[in-house]
Amino acid sequence: MRHVPAYVYVLLCVLIYVGIKRCYPRVTQHERTIVFPILLVVLGALSLKELFPLAGAQDYAWAAATLAGGALVSWVHASRWHWRLQFETRDDVTLVHMPGDPSLLATLLATFVGSSSCTSRFNRTPTLFYNCTTTIRT
């Protein structure tokens, strides 16, 4: 752990703060509710390209299937909890009353641990990680 840069700990604290904040009911603009899902998709796509620079169409198809599976699980999770989103318009701004949900905290922490363990385990060299996985496959 002594090779971990200080900004990683700051990022972890920010992610924990945001995740805990989302555990409680809140009122927010409807545009802001899509920020984290888009951010996670973009970071996932970038890390796929970085960790597997020689990834082919089949690998990207698996990534797209995983994304679709995650969206389906999220949809089932939201419908199971019977989210009743209430919309309100104030001063030409649409607000959404959202219930608290700890799943974002779990997702953020799992993503952080997964990405930091991959980069620290393989000495921050994405091609080394790719070479290790291709050696295992063959």
Q: Torsion over CA of 106, 37, 18 and 26, rounded to 10 degrees?
A: -100
Please check whether residue 123 is in contact with residue 134, taking contact to mean a CB–CB distance below 8 angstroms: no
Any idea which residue has 């970071």 for tokens?
43
Q: Which uninterrupted H or E stretch holds 63?
A: helix 57-80
Mean pLDDT for the chain?
Answer: 77
pLDDT, tens digit, for every residue of 53-109? Answer: 888 889 889 888 988 998 898 788 777 765 677 788 888 888 888 888 787 788 778
